[in-house]
């Protein structure tokens, strides 16, 4: 099925470093979501974005809805070991379109 | 709990057998989704239910896959004559009826076909 381009695919970082990842599409989206998935569990919603240019924070996490509406970014500040996991973006094209298309995931590993 | 509940959490079966996976959505959520996640991959949309409307089955990979939702609540995903390539984690999600509301996921059923 169709998936969004998400990068990087994986990253190893030192504890305390900041992390950035992004999701891009050739299509315009009206909603962007960011999820985190821990091993053996389902994805958990981190941040939801509904407006182009919107910047939303959730603790150390900040996500932005790209102004072109074709991309979104997630930043994690001062990473800690429990940030390890797989981060997924998901985009929805608009009203009347209920399907979310998911990114391929960014696998984050934090080195203590 | 108040979250999406899936059962069983793990299922191992022999090739050729039929399997049923169950999803109990969050109370009051009228939209229900099934996804498949292969090892190390993203989420592949399978099927969507919204209230009493006809389900969107466009993501089902073959006619061996089917799903139903009884009484607008619990859903069952059935895979007939399982094949080894069916091995994956099957995730269920639910959301409110409004189209752009986020989906909330269960922990999935890990299906292994021997």
- Chain B hits for A5, Cβ within 8 Å: none
Q: How far is CA A52 from the centre of its chain?
A: 15
In chain B, residues 75-114 whose CB comes closer than 8 Å to chain A: 91, 93, 99-100, 102-108, 110
B69-97 in b/e form (b: 16+ CB < 10 A) is: beeeeebebebeebeeebbbbbbbbbbee
Tell me the pLDDT band of A16, cut-offs 50, 70 and 90.
very high
B53 Cβ under 8 Å from any chain A Cβ: no
Q: What is the mean pLDDT of residues A9-22?
A: 94
CB contact at 8 A, B73 and A72: no
Query: At residue B70, what are phi and psi to the nearest 5 degrees?
Result: -95, 135
Residue of chain B minimizing CA distance to A34: B102
Nearest beta carbon to residue A98 from set B4, B59, B99: B99
Among B38, B48, B99, the strongest candidate for a mutation testing the A interface, having the largest count of A CBs within 10 A, is B99
| Residue A77 in this model has a pLDDT that exceeds 90 | yes
Cα distance between the two ends of chain B:
32
Q: Is the pLDDT of residue A103 over 80?
A: yes
CB nearest B45 (choices: A1, A6, A44): A1
* In chain B, residues 18-47 whose CB comes closer than 8 Å to chain A: 31, 35, 41-45
Q: Give chain A positions within 8 Å (CB) of B45.
A: 1, 99-101
Asked whether the predicted pLDDT for residue B111 surpasses 70, the reply is yes
The pLDDT tens digits of the residues spanning B69-109 come to: 988 789 999 999 999 999 999 999 999 876 678 889 999 99
Residue A88 at interface with chain B, using a CB cutoff of 8 Å: yes
**How large is the average pLDDT for residues A95-109?**
84
Are A48 and B59 a contacting pair at CB < 8 A? no
Q: What is the mean pLDDT of residues A81-86?
A: 94
| Residue of higher predicted confidence among A11 and B99 | A11
Burial of B54 from C-beta contacts in 10 A (0-12 / 13-18 / 19+):
exposed
């Amino acid at each position: 099925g169709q998936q969004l381009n998400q990068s990087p695919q994986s990253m190893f970082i030192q504890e305390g470093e900041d992390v950035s990842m992004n999701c891009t599409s050739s299509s315009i989206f009206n909603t962007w979501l960011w999820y985190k998935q821990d091993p053996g569990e389902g994805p958990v919603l981190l941040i939801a974005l509904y407006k182009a240019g919107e910047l939303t924070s959730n603790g150390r996490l900040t996500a932005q809805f790209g102004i072109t509406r074709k991309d979104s970014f997630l930043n994690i500040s001062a990473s800690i070991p429990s940030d390890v996991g797989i981060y997924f973006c998901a985009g929805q094209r608009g009203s009347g379109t209920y399907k979310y298309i998911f990114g391929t995931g960014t696998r984050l590993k934090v080195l203590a | 709990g108040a979250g999406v509940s899936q059962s069983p959490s793990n299922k191992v079966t022999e090739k050729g057998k039929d399997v049923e996976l169950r999803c109990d959505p969050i109370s009051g959520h009228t939209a229900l989704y099934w996804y498949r996640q292969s090892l190390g991959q993203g989420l592949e949309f399978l099927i969507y239910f919204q209230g009493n409307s006809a389900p969107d089955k466009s993501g089902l990979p073959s006619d061996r896959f089917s799903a139903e939702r009884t009484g607008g609540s619990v859903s069952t995903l059935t895979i007939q004559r399982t094949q080894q390539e069916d091995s994956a984690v099957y995730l269920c999600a639910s959301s409110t009826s409004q189209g752009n509301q986020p989906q909330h996921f269960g922990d999935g059923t890990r299906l292994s076909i021997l």
